[in-house]
């Protein structure tokens, strides 16, 4: 039925904001400069920041989640007041003596304290206060080029004053992280353009430091800057994804993963899954080999985790919620999806070529990747070669298609120990639906009719038994998908034997094929009818209208039933064949009546949605138009066939 979205690196705003908060809490202790200035020493700034970091790292009771954060802020605000008092005294002295001794050192201390207070406020979800403090900090610590242009995303990379300021700056980690914090703050409000402007400034800072200041910072400060740079890239990946810039988002994800691996500062579970997820982007843009490389890297890191414990059978895990088991099985699922998608694309393109139509799936790139490896692989070249998929263009016969099928099937089997039916119903069913589809796709390449029918029957058997175990009231959507897939499999078997019966030269063979065709057709009709019953109203009747998402499936189901009934032989009984043909005509009439009522409603709803989303409503076209025309023709032709069957009786 439906397909899962191919968009990568897009997440709900709620989940995205949660990740920003988590980052802010995990990065509380910002290292100061490697050598504190005399002014900083006199105010014990380093000691204050250390105590603030200690307080923020403490666990708090659920009833008072930010208790120690507020204590830390009180320290920071008290220190800021002391510095501001000193600043006022210096200004008064300068006015009395008329000697301009300057206030830059104290101004910077106020800015540093603003940065730390702002970060504290963001962690406690007080965004407005956080914004004020962080903006004050970045305005003072940042280059003159940024004054009044904090949210303009047009940084002057070649500005002499900008480079000179960066070379003189002694608080670069705080400035860089201040931009990160503002980027995170604006993203949490859903203003991704302002967020992008701040994060790009952070990125520019790092690039300038790397190119112009590499020799002027010590190793400790460089490590701090590089650590913040990783989070800049992480944030940019999310923000670019929210803005729909999937290519740039994926570039940032890739570089984030690479730097995390090089630094050794990563959580293996998260790293492996993020790397595996990145493979979807590369597959969608046509780079299959790089998609595979992402999965090789993901699996390598997942294998660094402790081996899950199993029962005596060696297959059943002792702890079904083991995070190590989860990570490994999820990566295997990504592998299975990759191979399944390759096989499905090859099958669809084969059908398009047979029908003289344009191929649905463009050719993929199977050349060796030129990108910098995310992490060095320890797997041997021989084993890597065995795991690589054949090029989709070479999947033209059953032998090559079977190779891809076996890869996908094996990977899904390795994913199932975690995605068990008892506890993870949706994921288990989605995997089994994919398994059913690869049987269906493989059948397209099989020249032998008996083996082809066996593949379709295997798909139906697998999914049908799963349907029988589900409660349709609880898992309605899954039950619909399972019924529809089973119906399609049986319809394919009926079509095979129907064509064979039509072409059979021997009457005994014709009768055998007719019987098999009717048997498969009746099963297909039953599954499609089960699908339609799941839409029934509370009084058990077919609804007059359905929503626009369900309409294509409902119409197609009725059309498939009409086609199945039209091909029923009735076991050679002319009266039965007449009965099935009449039933077929009823289905065609129903499709026309239901479609003429519901398609305009669905079109109006789709145009309204397009208008709300800022798209041109006129670009939305009505669905099912070719099928409706086919139904009109059949409504004209079938009465003639029915009349002929009556005469033959």
Last residue of some domain: 250, 266, 282?
Answer: 266
Asked if 43 and 64 sit in the same domain, the reply is yes
CA angle 411, 412, 418 (to 5 degrees): 110
The 10s digit of each residue's pLDDT in 316-361 is: 888 999 999 999 999 999 999 999 999 999 999 999 888 888 777 7
Last residue of some domain: 480, 505, 533?
Answer: 533
> Would you tell me how many other CB atoms lie within 10 Å of the CB of residue 451?
12
The 10s digit of each residue's pLDDT in 137-148 is: 999 998 877 888
Asked if 306 and 375 sit in the same domain, the reply is yes
Asked if 77 and 144 sit in the same domain, the reply is yes
Asked if 34 and 83 sit in the same domain, the reply is yes
Query: Do the domain assignments include residue 457?
Result: no
Asked if 259 and 288 sit in the same domain, the reply is no
Asked if 354 and 484 sit in the same domain, the reply is no
Query: Do the domain assignments include residue 261?
Result: yes
Kindly write down the DSSP assignment for every residue of 444-494, as one continuous string. TT---HHHHHHHHHHHHHHHHHHHHTS-TTTSHHHHHHHHHHHHHHHHHHH
Asked if 198 and 95 sit in the same domain, the reply is yes
Query: Do the domain assignments include residue 458?
Result: no
Taking alpha carbons only, the member of 181, 178, 176, 258 closest to residue 217 is 176
The 10s digit of each residue's pLDDT in 458-509 is: 999 999 999 999 999 999 999 999 999 999 999 999 999 999 999 988 888 9
The 10s digit of each residue's pLDDT in 351-374 is: 988 888 877 777 777 777 778 889
Asked if 41 and 179 sit in the same domain, the reply is yes
Asked if 38 and 91 sit in the same domain, the reply is yes
Q: Round to whole Å and give the CA distance between 535 and 556.
A: 14
Q: Round to whole Å and give the CA distance between 21 and 260.
A: 20
The 10s digit of each residue's pLDDT in 522-560 is: 999 999 999 999 999 999 999 999 999 999 999 999 999
Span 398-410, average pLDDT: 96
Contact 561, 528 (CB under 8 A): yes
Query: Do the domain assignments include residue 642?
Result: yes
Query: Do the domain assignments include residue 3?
Result: no
Model confidence band, residue 196 (pLDDT cutoffs 50, 70, 90): very high
Q: Residue 636: give the domain boundaries.
A: 535-649
Q: Round to whole Å and give the CA distance between 187 and 242.
A: 9
Asked if 220 and 89 sit in the same domain, the reply is yes
Query: Do the domain assignments include residue 456?
Result: no
Asked if 568 and 604 sit in the same domain, the reply is yes
Model confidence band, residue 28 (pLDDT cutoffs 50, 70, 90): very low
Burial class (CB in 10 A: 0-12, 13-18, 19+), 589: middle
| CATH number of the domain enclosing 170 | 1.25.40.10
Asked if 249 and 299 sit in the same domain, the reply is no
Q: How many domains does the chain have?
A: 4
Taking alpha carbons only, the member of 38, 56, 45, 55 closest to residue 113 is 45
pLDDT of residue 263 exceeding 80: yes
Contact 588, 555 (CB under 8 A): no
Burial 224-249 (b: 16+ CB within 10 A, else e): bbbbbbbbbbbbbbbbbbbeebbebb
Query: Do the domain assignments include residue 8?
Result: no
Query: Do the domain assignments include residue 5?
Result: no
Last residue of some domain: 249, 266, 283?
Answer: 266
């Amino acid at each position: 039925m439906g397909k899962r979205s191919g968009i990568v690196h897009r997440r709900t705003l709620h989940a995205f904001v949660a990740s920003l908060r988590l980052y802010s809490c995990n990065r509380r202790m910002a290292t100061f400069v490697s050598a504190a200035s005399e002014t900083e020493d006199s105010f014990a700034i380093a000691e204050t920041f250390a105590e603030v970091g200690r307080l923020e790292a403490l666990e708090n009771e659920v009833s008072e989640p930010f208790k120690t954060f507020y204590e830390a802020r009180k320290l920071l605000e008290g220190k800021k007041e002391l510095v501001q008092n000193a600043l006022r005294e210096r200004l008064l002295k300068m006015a009395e003596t008329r000697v301009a001794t300057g206030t830059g050192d104290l101004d910077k201390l106020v800015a540093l304290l603003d940065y730390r207070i702002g970060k504290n406020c963001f962690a406690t979800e007080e965004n407005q206060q956080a914004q004020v403090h962080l903006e004050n900090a970045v305005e003072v610590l940042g280059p003159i080029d940024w004054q009044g242009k904090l949210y303009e995303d047009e940084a002057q990379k070649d500005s002499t004053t900008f480079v000179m300021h960066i070379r003189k700056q002694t608080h670069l980690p705080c400035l860089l992280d201040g931009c990160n914090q503002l980027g995170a703050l604006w993203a949490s409000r859903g203003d991704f353009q302002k967020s992008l402007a701040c994060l790009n400034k952070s990125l520019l800072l790092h690039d300038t430091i790397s190119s112009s200041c590499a020799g002027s910072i010590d190793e400790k400060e460089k490590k701090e800057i590089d650590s913040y740079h990783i989070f800049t890239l992480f944030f940019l990946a999310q923000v670019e994804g929210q803005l729909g810039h999937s290519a740039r988002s994926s570039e940032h994800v890739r570089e984030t993963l690479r730097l995390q691996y090089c630094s050794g500062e990563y959580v293996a579970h998260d790293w492996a899954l993020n790397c595996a997820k990145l493979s979807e982007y590369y597959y969608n843009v046509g780079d299959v080999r790089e998609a595979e490389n992402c999965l090789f890297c993901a699996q390598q890191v997942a294998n660094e985790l402790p081996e899950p414990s199993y029962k005596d059978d060696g297959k059943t895990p002792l702890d079904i919620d083991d995070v190590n088991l989860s990570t490994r099985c999820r990566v295997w699922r990504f592998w299975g999806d990759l191979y399944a998608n390759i096989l499905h694309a090859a099958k669809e393109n084969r059908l398009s070529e047979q029908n003289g139509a344009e191929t649905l799936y463009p050719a993929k790139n199977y050349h060796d990747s030129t990108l910098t490896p995310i992490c060095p692989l320890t797997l041997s070249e021989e084993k890597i070669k065995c795991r690589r998929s054949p090029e989709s263009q070479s999947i033209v016969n059953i032998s090559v298609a079977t190779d891809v099928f076996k890869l996908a099937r094996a990977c899904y089997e390795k994913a199932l120990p975690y995605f068990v039916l008892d506890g993870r119903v949706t994921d288990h069913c989605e995997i089994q639906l994919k398994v059913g589809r690869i049987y269906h796709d493989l059948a397209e390449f099989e020249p032998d009719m008996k083996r082809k029918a066996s593949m379709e029957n295997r798909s139906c058997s697998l999914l049908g038994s799963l349907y029988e175990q589900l409660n349709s009231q609880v898992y309605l959507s899954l039950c619909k998908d399972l019924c529809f897939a089973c119906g399609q499999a049986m319809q394919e078997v009926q079509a095979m034997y129907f064509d064979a019966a039509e072409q059979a030269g021997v009457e005994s063979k014709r009768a055998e094929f007719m019987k098999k065709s009717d048997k498969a057709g009746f099963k297909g009709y039953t599954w499609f009818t089960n699908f339609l019953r799941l839409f029934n109203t509370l009084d058990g009747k077919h609804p007059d209208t359905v929503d626009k998402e369900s309409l294509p499936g409902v119409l197609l189901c009725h059309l498939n039933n009409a086609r199945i009934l039209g091909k029923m032989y009735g076991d050679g009984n002319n009266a039965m064949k007449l009965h099935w043909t009449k039933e077929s005509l009823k289905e065609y009439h129903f499709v026309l009546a239901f479609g003429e009522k519901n398609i305009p409603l669905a079109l109006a709803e789709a145009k309204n949605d397009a208008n709300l989303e800022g798209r041109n409503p006129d670009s939305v076209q009505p669905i099912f138009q070719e099928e409706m025309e086919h139904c009109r023709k059949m409504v004209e032709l079938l009465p003639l066939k029915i009349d002929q069957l009556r005469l033959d009786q």
